[in-house]
Amino acid sequence: MHLTTSQKMYDNLAAGYRTYSQSRLLYLNTVDSVVKQYLTSKSSIIDFGSGDGVRIHNIAKNITTKLCLVENSDNMLARIKGLYPHALVLSQSFSDTNFYTDNKYDIATCLWNVLGHLGNEQQILTGLKNIKKSVCQNGIVILDVNNRHNISQYKKKAVRNIIKDLFTYKFGNGDIKFNISMNGQNIPSYVHIFNKYEIEKLIKAAGFVIKSKFYINYANGNIEKSPLFGQLCYILTVKKQDIR
């Protein structure tokens, strides 16, 4: 079976993923607190791009047990099975036009720039549309993405990104190849880092309405007033006419 760049990356990350995630713990905790505001004991949740499953289980514990995980990295799936043997898991890529789920959920989450690992613009749009199909009529979608215009995080690179997007915009401006150093090896990685206009255009094209948005500082987790100082977190609802 052909593995996508994202699957290869997450397969290689799986062994050290817990340690890797600690580097952004303050940011992740703030996003988690946003998610928890929308959960009740009656909520059913589907999480897209669950990694090893630890984060979404920690978010949902003591609130609800109605949880479905979507993950397509074999090594991450093995960790989910080891940690949560009874978890409901869909081992599919949600950027695939053939993605399906038999159930609809109250809450869908897609966290820590998972969207940026899906591939090109069309694959990301397909992923968003598949998320939309997974939620019920009054459902909520919560997602966050990295923001290439985030001066607080990316400094001079963010300024260059703003200028580049202003004068020579194309979707590929946000495509980045890099290496993650972990356990003595360099893991080849690819990601798309969005700008605010870009992700909001995709959100609307997928049939969502933006209910709320937050700009969250990547270093300390503070909620900022300007998108120039934070990553982008959205609370979405589905356009009623787009309900199927």
Is 129 inside any structural domain?
yes
Is 177 inside any structural domain?
no
Bridge partners (DSSP) of residue 186 are 181
Is 95 inside any structural domain?
yes
Buried b (16+ CB within 10 A) or exposed e, 71-84: bbbebbbebbeeeb
Residue of higher predicted confidence among 136 and 10: 136
Is 156 inside any structural domain?
no
Give the Cβ contact number of residue 2 at 10 Å.
Answer: 4
For the stretch 194-230, pLDDT in tens is 999 999 999 999 999 999 999 999 999 999 999 999 9
How sure is the predictor about 243, in pLDDT bands with cuts at 50, 70 and 90?
Answer: very low
What CATH code is carried by the domain that includes residue 139? 3.40.50.150
Two tokens, residue 46: 């589907």
Give, in order, the Cα–Cα distances in Å from 128 to each of 58, 136, 147, 187. Answer: 24, 15, 17, 27
Which one-letter DSSP state was computed for residue 147?
B
For the stretch 26-59, pLDDT in tens is 999 999 999 999 999 999 999 999 999 999 999 9
**Amino acid at residue number 233:** C
The predicted structure's pLDDT at residue 114:
97
Is 154 inside any structural domain?
no
**Amino acid at residue number 126:** T
Say yes or no to pLDDT of 236 above 80: yes
Distance of alpha carbon 40 from alpha carbon 66, whole angstroms: 11
The predicted structure's pLDDT at residue 239:
75
The predicted structure's pLDDT at residue 19:
86
Considering only CA atoms, which of 99, 95, 111 is closest in space to residue 60?
111
Give, in order, the Cα–Cα distances in Å from 85 to each of 53, 74, 80, 81, 103. Answer: 11, 15, 7, 5, 20
Is 164 inside any structural domain?
no
The predicted structure's pLDDT at residue 2:
56
Is 189 inside any structural domain?
no
Residue of higher predicted confidence among 211 and 190: 211
Q: Which domain holds residue 48?
A: 5-146+195-242
Is 185 inside any structural domain?
no
Distance of alpha carbon 17 from alpha carbon 4, whole angstroms: 19
Q: In what order do the strands lie in the sheet with 208-216?
A: 88-90, 67-70, 45-48, 105-110, 135-145, 231-238, 208-216, 223-224
Q: Which residue has the tokens 């949560």?
A: 84
- Structurally, the chain folds into a number of domains equal to 1
Residue 127 half-sphere exposure toward CB, CA atoms < 13 A: 26
